Amino acid sequence: MKIQIINGPNLNLLGMREPDIYGNQSFLDYFETLQKEFPEIELHYFQSNVEGEIINQIHESGFDYDGIILNAGGYTHTSVAIRDAIKSVVTPVVEVHISNVHAREEFRHQSMISAVCMGVIAGFGLNSYRLAIEAIKTANKTT
């Protein structure tokens, strides 16, 4: 099984950025934890602050991976182009957020991508990614 994790803008600053919301751990450190927890899964990680690069990565992963975990960051609320990229591929996508976006500013309550994703996981800190892996594993067992 192969899963691509894609993180969007500002998520390269995890561990330094707003630790009261996002915690103190970098994503690269957490990614190592995920690799140890799921040795049977080929996990790949990509991060970009550039919308087009995120779209390109969705295209590259979207036909031969078993799942994509996408934290589109601020693009979640604005990007029709990322929504269209998700709709264009066959690989299921799980939308992930570290914080509970519904407990934050009102503009974060709307997602442009939720309707074209397999599901949404939000508010469980970095553990949201682990939950997304479990969801993809379960979905692949039933198909």
Which of these is catalytic: 30, 75, 97, 129?
97
pLDDT at 22: 66
The pLDDT of residue 107 is: 60
pLDDT at residue 93 above 60?
Answer: yes
Active site residue 102: no
Residue of 22, 65, 75, 129 marked catalytic: 22
Domains contained in the chain, CATH given? 2-142 (3.40.50.9100)
Measured CA to CA, the distance from residue 34 to residue 39 in angstroms comes to 8
When pLDDT is cut at 50, 70 and 90, the band that residue 75 belongs to is very high
What angle, rounded to 10 degrees, do the helices at 27-37 and 127-142 form? 40
User: Mean pLDDT across the stretch 83-104?
Assistant: 89
pLDDT number for residue 84: 98
Distance CA 108, CA 103 (A): 9
Q: Active-site residue 97, yes or no? A: yes
pLDDT > 80? residue 18? no
Q: What are phi and psi of 76, to 5 degrees?
A: -55, -40
Confidence of residue 136 (pLDDT cuts 50, 70, 90): very high
d(CA 10, CA 81): 19
Nearest Cα to Cα of residue 92 among 116, 127, 115, 56: 116
Residue 13 is predicted with a pLDDT of: 83
- Taking the C-alpha atoms of residue 82 and residue 53, their distance in angstroms, rounded to an integer, is 10
User: What does the mean pLDDT of the chain come to?
Assistant: 90
| Confidence (pLDDT) at 111 | 85
Tell me the pLDDT tens digit for each residue of 26-53: 899 999 999 999 999 999 999 999 999 9
